[in-house]
């Protein structure tokens, strides 16, 4: 006699949850109640769902679970950034990072155990790739972080600071798919997670506050624009095909002209009227005045803003961060051309939680980490030389 695996409710859409409850004779409003218990209240025990009938709770306990990947390590940075390492089985681990700011709280979550894109400036690429995450594993990062942060806030409110201003309705105000992996190469599972983030009976985030970052998977950009348009960030990192082929190997399949056309198509559906171009600043590689001029030409083709990212070095890359003065001058060149430009503040680098540093622990099935140094770093250095 085979034992049926419990259904993990974290990964079910509203429709799937309604269908499941309907199998037991339950009304659709019961599914909404259950969804609110799981996602809004962070319940992990059916016994806690006190407004559900006892018989219904018994059915849930028999057939279902609320299963989040276990946390192996939690780290806190001196700047308030927090990082969680989630065990996703078979010696693979992924990371999520919470970045508190004065006007928002941003959670950066992962979509894959590793990454196949293998950009040479990103430590995740050196981990190789093992597998895609499920919707439950993706949304589980949000579920856990939200639950922990709300518990901490509640503890602070009942402590010495109990007379402080009322707590905000949401600790996590923004979610960005900028952790480990290329989200659009795990499209179906990411789409399920995005829809839960936007669902008013789950996390209730607005489309403007959920961002998918892609290195330029053009066909999936078009699908996302039709299926679930959220804010879009594109990992550009180079202003011409010759350099981007080396920095973002996916460019060899979807070159810049194709990518920029896809960005314009996405803008027809996007909740924001611009695309964010992420641009990592690499000393002597992509930070010259000529590169800035080429970016200005790109900005004339797509409504966009630039987010310049100081490179966070790691030993395998062989690359260096552009000096602060060069970053400021580069940004000024873009702003003088009328382009909205920001420089990302490095957060959490003391716990390897900054942009490009997420590595987790991946049992590589692709041998990318063996091929990457010869293919990418050496070529880049030759171009500089």
Question: Where in the sequence numbering do the catalytic residues fall?
Answer: 95, 355
- Of 97, 91, 98, 146, whose CA–CA distance to 113 is shortest? 91
Q: Give 308's contacts (C-beta < 8 A, 6+ positions apart).
A: 279, 281, 327, 330, 331, 341, 342, 343, 344
CA distance 52 to 304: 48
Q: Which two tokens stand for residue 349?
A: 């680098």
- Of 234, 335, 225, whose CA–CA distance to 279 is shortest? 234
- Of 327, 199, 220, 315, whose CA–CA distance to 265 is shortest? 220
- Of 4, 303, 246, whose CA–CA distance to 117 is shortest? 246
Q: Which two tokens stand for residue 133?
A: 């995450």
Q: For helices 218-227 and 187-198, give the axis angle rounded to 10 degrees.
A: 30
């Amino acid at each position: 006699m085979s034992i049926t695996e419990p259904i993990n409710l974290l990964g079910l859409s509203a429709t799937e949850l309604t269908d499941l409850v309907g199998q037991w004779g339950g009304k659709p409003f019961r599914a909404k109640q259950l969804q609110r218990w799981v996602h809004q209240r962070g319940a992990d025990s059916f016994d806690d769902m006190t407004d559900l009938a006892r018989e219904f709770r018994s059915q849930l306990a028999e057939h279902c679970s609320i299963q989040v990947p276990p946390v192996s390590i939690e780290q806190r940075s001196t700047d308030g950034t927090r990082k969680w390492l989630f065990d996703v089985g078979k010696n693979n681990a992924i990371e999520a990072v919470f970045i508190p700011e004065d006007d928002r709280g941003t959670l950066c979550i992962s979509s894959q155990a590793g990454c196949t894109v293998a950009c040479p400036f990103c430590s995740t690429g050196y981990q190789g790739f093992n597998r895609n995450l499920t919707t439950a594993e993706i949304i589980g990062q949000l579920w856990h972080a939200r639950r922990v942060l709300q518990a901490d806030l509640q503890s602070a409110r009942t402590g010495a600071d109990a007379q402080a201003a009322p707590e905000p309705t949401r600790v996590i105000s923004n979610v960005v798919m900028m952790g480990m992996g290329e989200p659009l190469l795990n499209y179906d599972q990411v789409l399920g997670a995005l829809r839960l983030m936007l669902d008013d009976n789950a996390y209730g985030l607005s489309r403007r506050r959920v961002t998918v970052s892609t290195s330029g998977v053009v066909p999936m950009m078009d699908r996302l624009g039709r299926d679930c348009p959220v804010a879009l960030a594109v990992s550009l990192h180079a202003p011409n095909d010759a350099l981007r082929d080396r920095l973002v190997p996916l460019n060899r399949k979807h070159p810049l002209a194709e990518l920029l056309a896809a960005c314009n198509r996405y803008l027809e559906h996007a909740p924001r009227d611009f695309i964010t171009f992420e641009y990592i600043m690499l000393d002597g590689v992509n930070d010259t005045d000529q590169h800035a001029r080429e970016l200005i030409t790109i900005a004339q083709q797509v409504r966009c803003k630039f987010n310049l990212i100081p490179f966070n070095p790691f030993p395998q890359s062989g690359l260096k961060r552009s000096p602060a003065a060069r970053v400021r001058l580069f940004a000024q060149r873009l702003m003088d051309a009328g382009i909205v430009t920001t420089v990302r503040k490095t957060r959490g680098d003391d716990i390897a939680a900054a942009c490009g540093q997420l590595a987790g622990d991946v049992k590589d099935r692709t041998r990318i980490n063996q091929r990457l140094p010869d293919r990418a770093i050496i070529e880049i250095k030759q171009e500089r030389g």
